[in-house]
């Protein structure tokens, strides 16, 4: 199992780790700052460096039994098992993903009671699908998001028992993906104050500390993807 340092601190950019295994699938470390692809958020990229070598990480992905597999760029040599490596992620790319992912939570907050049916996070553009027959206009959504960003709402996380989630199923806002169960606890991401959150739902992704960090958001397009499925496209213009 790989200790996922990003779960507790999404702002860690590097760490040292020990190589547990290395084969054609990639490198497994005992700890990492690299997020493994899941929930619509791409896996991180970056670099592994060790005494005598270095390799570019093409993407971090999920392995078996809680492992994070660092897939290497084509032709890159893997570090030896047992070696200590310095792990450095592509921070600019990750931070864009954090801003995008937090924006998705804000989109959920302005459509209360509406379930998300799919999503895809990208550094340049992202999308979020909703089970929604009559969506508001893209201009209305852009304005609501701008208000939430400007408010500078803090974000935070806490863990709850799986039984608490079962007793409060309304916390789950997605129809396509359910929070992973079996570990005994679920991670909640909160935007806004604990007493009156703007958004609160299970999530394993990475997010910014404050909505003000997101910057300008523009909803660029609404698409009809089925009887009630509406796709919301948005970007973060610089």
Judge whether residue 93 has pLDDT over 90.
yes
Look over the chain and give the mean of its residue pLDDT values, rounded to a whole number. Answer: 93
Q: Which two tokens stand for residue 66?
A: 């809680």
193: domain CATH number? 3.30.980.10
Dihedral of CA 147/149/154/159: which sign?
positive
Residue count of the chain, please give it. 238
pTM: 0.93
CB 123, CB 96: distance < 8 Å: yes
Tokens of 112: 């209360």
Contact call for residues 129 and 230 (beta carbons, < 8 A): yes
* In a shared domain, residues 205 and 128: yes
Cα–Cα distance, 171 to 184 (Å, whole number): 17
Contact 107, 128 (CB under 8 A): yes
Most confident of 95-109, 153-167, 219-233: 95-109
Q: Of 54, 89, 124, which residue constitutes the final position of a domain?
A: 89
Q: Domain span at residue 115?
A: 94-235
Closest CA to 83 of 20, 26, 32, 34: 20
CATH code of the domain in which 32 resides: 2.40.30.130
Domain co-membership, 188 together with 104: yes
Q: Give CA–CA dist 82/22, Å, rounded.
A: 10
Last residue of a domain, one of 89, 121, 154: 89
Give the up-direction half-sphere exposure of residue 225: CA atoms within 13 A in the CB hemisphere.
18
In the prediction, which pLDDT does 175 show?
Answer: 63
The predicted model gives 60-83 an average pLDDT of 96
Q: Among the three residues 70, 89, 108, which one is the final residue of a domain in this structure?
A: 89
> How does pLDDT run across 14-52, given as a tens digit for each residue?
999 999 999 999 999 999 999 999 989 999 999 999 999
SS3 81: coil
Q: In the chain, how many domains are there?
A: 2
Q: What is the pLDDT of residue 172?
A: 79
Helices 91-110 & 138-150 angle (0-180, nearest 10)? 110
């Amino acid at each position: 199992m790989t200790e996922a340092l990003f779960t507790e601190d999404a702002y860690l950019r590097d760490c040292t780790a020990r190589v547990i295994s290395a084969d054609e699938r990639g490198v497994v470390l005992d700890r990492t700052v690299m997020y493994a692809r899941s929930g619509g958020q791409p896996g991180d990229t970056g670099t592994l460096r060790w005494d005598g070598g270095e390799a570019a990480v093409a993407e971090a992905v999920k392995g078996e039994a809680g492992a994070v597999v660092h897939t290497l760029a084509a032709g890159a040599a893997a570090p030896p098992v047992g070696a200590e490596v310095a792990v450095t992620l592509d921070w600019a790319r990750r931070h864009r993903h954090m801003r995008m992912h937090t924006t998705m939570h804000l989109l959920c907050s302005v459509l209360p009671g509406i379930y998300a049916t799919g999503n895809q996070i990208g550094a340049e553009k992202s999308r979020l699908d909703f089970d929604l027959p009559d969506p508001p206009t893209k201009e209305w959504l852009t304005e609501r998001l701008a208000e939430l960003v400007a408010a500078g709402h803090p974000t935070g996380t806490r863990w709850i028992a799986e039984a608490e989630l079962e007793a409060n199923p309304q916390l789950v806002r997605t129809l396509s993906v359910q929070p992973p169960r079996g570990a005994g606890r679920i991670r909640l991401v909160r935007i806004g104050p604990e007493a009156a959150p703007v958004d609160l739902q299970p999530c394993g992704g990475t997010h910014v500390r404050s909505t003000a960090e997101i910057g300008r958001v523009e909803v660029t397009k609404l698409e009809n993807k089925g009887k009630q499925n509406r796709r919301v496209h948005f970007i973060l213009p610089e």
